[in-house]
């Protein structure tokens, strides 16, 4: 009986972790509303910050349209090999100033791991206007 309960608990935990890791793009779009004052995700239009269209897989500090506006810290991070994969985005969205010290983004980060996973899912979905 205990073995069956343990197996069931592990199954449920695994399912929960998988759902969390994948995120929900629709929920991520809602969370992204916190970002739209400075970033665009559905077009390649820059605002105070660079556009985030196609950001997943992009080298940090490499959006050509924003090249003259990146902080030196972000340019250096990209030159050192920082690519915005899911893991790096998650770390950056959690604590931008820790992930890339000296960057100019004023936002302090998202505290919820679910919100972070959802925003990444939204960005990966390649949002359209």
DSSP secondary structure letters along 55-102: -TTPBTT--GGGTTTS-HHHHHHHHTT-B--HHHHHHHHH-HHHHSTT
Mind listing the pLDDT tens digit for each residue in 75-97?
999 999 999 999 999 999 999 99
CA distance 104 to 29: 23
Mind listing the pLDDT tens digit for each residue in 9-55?
334 433 333 344 589 999 999 999 999 999 999 999 999 999 999 99
Mind listing the pLDDT tens digit for each residue in 58-79?
999 999 999 999 999 999 999 9
Number of structural domains in the chain:
1
User: What CATH number should be reported for the domain holding residue 51?
Assistant: 1.10.760.10
**Is residue 36 domain-resident?**
yes
**Is residue 4 domain-resident?**
no
**Is residue 129 domain-resident?**
no
Q: Helix crossing, 113-124 with 86-94: angle to 10°?
A: 130
For 112, residues 6+ apart whose C-beta sits below 8 A from its C-beta are none
**Is residue 42 domain-resident?**
yes
Q: Which of 79, 81, 99 is nearest to 89 (CA)?
A: 99
**Is residue 2 domain-resident?**
no
Residues spanned by the domain of 118: 23-124
**Is residue 79 domain-resident?**
yes
Asked if 48 contacts 38 with a C-beta cutoff of 8 angstroms, the reply is yes
**Is residue 100 domain-resident?**
yes
Give the DSSP letter of residue 23.
Answer: -
**Is residue 11 domain-resident?**
no
């Amino acid at each position: 009986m205990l073995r069956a309960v343990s197996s069931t608990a592990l199954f449920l935990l695994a399912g929960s972790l998988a759902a969390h890791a994948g995120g929900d793009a629709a929920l991520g779009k809602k969370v992204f509303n916190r970002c739209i004052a400075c970033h665009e995700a559905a077009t390649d239009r820059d605002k105070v910050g660079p556009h985030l269209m196609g950001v997943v897989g992009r080298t940090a500090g490499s959006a050509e349209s924003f090249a003259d506006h990146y902080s030196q810290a972000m340019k250096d991070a990209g030159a050192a090999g920082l690519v915005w994969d899911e893991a790096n985005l998650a770390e950056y969205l959690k604590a931008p100033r820790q992930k890339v010290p000296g960057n100019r983004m004023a936002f302090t980060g998202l505290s919820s791991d679910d919100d972070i996973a959802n925003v990444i899912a939204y960005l990966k979905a390649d949002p359209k206007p």
